[in-house]
């Protein structure tokens, strides 16, 4: 397992004891942690964070007091999401963070946005009661490989159900750290292109893929269902492909 810490991000004024339990389970498995408080109004409950909400606000050029009185809860949450995202990005670049877990209800979206800045292959987990089929998954996943765990119960109290969910989440993180890996950078010799596909373009893209393979070109196919295109573009900007065949262009008209 690489050196570094797993960031656990939550609003600790309401999720303190639960995060403390998850932290302790990770430590028991040999995983170093960094608890990050994204709470805005209340003091941390039952836990001392490694990174305080005041420190996050200061990184964004504000004081905690100015964040608390910014005008509306929605604006404060938006700003805190930006601050914690900046923090995680910087800490990963510095080699301090090797994975991330976001815990909470609606507040989990702040941490989810932050861990989405981690590269493909770097472990990312969201644990939330709102991570169910009745809610949109976009805010939790974005364009990244985020593992989403439905907490079943609300995150209020360390009961048997919550313990089971947290224990398994900790085990999943440990497993990914020990046996997983980040997406390798494309080598100069690698000939890989990206293509978009839906059901009605499957046969054409399959034929395209076969022809390119005969020439030694690998094709990575993205499902053009609203997220596939942006995911493809993000990886293309990162230099993963030598070319792109946007064969299925429905997302262009679907974007708002």
CATH of the domain at 148: 3.40.50.12020
Give 183-231 pLDDT, tens digit per residue: 988 777 789 999 999 999 999 999 999 999 999 999 999 999 888 999 9
Same domain, 200 and 171: no
Same domain, 46 and 96: yes
Residue 184 included in any domain: no
SS3 (DSSP) at 101? strand
Same domain, 20 and 139: yes
- For the chain, the domain total comes to 2
Same domain, 24 and 86: yes
Same domain, 60 and 93: yes
Write down which residue in 179, 207, 238 finishes a domain.
179
Same domain, 107 and 19: yes
Write down which residue in 152, 179, 206 finishes a domain.
179
Same domain, 227 and 136: no
Residue 210 included in any domain: yes
Write down which residue in 130, 156, 179 finishes a domain.
179
Same domain, 14 and 140: yes
CA angle (136 as vertex; 70, 174 as ends), nearest 5: 90
Give 139-182 pLDDT, tens digit per residue: 889 999 999 999 999 999 999 999 999 999 999 999 999 999 99
Instruction: Answer yes or no: are the C-beta atoms of 213 and 239 closer than 8 Å.
Output: no
Cβ-based neighbours of 88, under 8 Å, separated by 6 or more = 7, 9, 36, 97, 100, 114, 115, 117, 118
Residue 110 included in any domain: yes
Q: For residue 165, give its domain range.
A: 5-179
Residue 187 included in any domain: no
Q: Using a pLDDT cut of 90, give the percent of the chain over it.
A: 86
Same domain, 174 and 197: no
Residue 127 included in any domain: yes
In terms of Cβ atoms closer than 10 Å to its own Cβ (0-12, 13-18, 19+), residue 223 is middle
Instruction: Answer yes or no: are the C-beta atoms of 85 and 117 closer than 8 Å.
Output: yes
Same domain, 199 and 223: yes
Please tell me the predicted confidence (pLDDT) of residue 210: 97
Arithmetic mean of pLDDT, 81-109 = 96
Please tell me the predicted confidence (pLDDT) of residue 135: 65
pLDDT exceeds cutoff 80 at 1:
no
Instruction: Answer yes or no: are the C-beta atoms of 10 and 20 closer than 8 Å.
Output: no
Residue 39 included in any domain: yes
Model confidence, pTM: 0.89
- Of 145, 155, 153, 61, whose CA–CA distance to 107 is shortest? 155
Same domain, 142 and 119: yes
d(CA 185, CA 131): 31
Arithmetic mean of pLDDT, 49-60 = 96
Distances from the Cα of 193 to the Cα of 13, 14, 61, 216, 219, angstroms: 47, 46, 41, 11, 5
Instruction: Answer yes or no: are the C-beta atoms of 13 and 44 closer than 8 Å.
Output: yes
Same domain, 239 and 158: no
């Amino acid at each position: 397992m690489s050196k570094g810490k797993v960031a656990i991000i939550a609003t600790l004024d309401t999720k303190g004891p639960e995060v403390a339990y998850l932290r302790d389970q990770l430590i028991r498995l040999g995983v170093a942690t960094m608890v990050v408080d994204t709470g805005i109004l209340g003091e941390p409950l039952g836990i001392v964070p490694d990174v305080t909400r005041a420190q996050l606000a200061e990184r964004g050029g504000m004081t905690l007091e100015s964040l608390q009185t910014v005008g509306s809860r929605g604006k404060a949450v938006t700003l805190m999401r930006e601050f914690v995202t900046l923090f995680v990005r910087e800490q990963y670049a510095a080699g301090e963070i090797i994975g991330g877990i976001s815990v909470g209800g609606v507040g989990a979206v702040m941490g989810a946005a932050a861990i989405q800045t981690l590269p493909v292959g770097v472990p990312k987990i969201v644990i939330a009661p709102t991570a169910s089929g009745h809610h949109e998954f976009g805010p939790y996943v974005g364009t990244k490989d985020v593992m989403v765990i439905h907490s079943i119960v609300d995150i209020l109290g360390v009961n048997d159900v919550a313990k089971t969910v947290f224990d398994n989440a900790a085990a999943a993180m440990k497993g990914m750290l020990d046996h997983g890996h980040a997406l390798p950078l494309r080598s100069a010799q690698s000939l890989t292109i990206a293509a978009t596909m839906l059901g009605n373009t499957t046969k054409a893209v399959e034929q395209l893929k076969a022809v390119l393979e005969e020439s030694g070109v690998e094709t990575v196919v993205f499902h053009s269902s609203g997220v596939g295109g942006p995911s493809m573009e993000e990886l293309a900007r990162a230099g993963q492909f030598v070319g792109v065949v946007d064969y299925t262009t429905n997302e262009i008209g679907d974007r708002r």
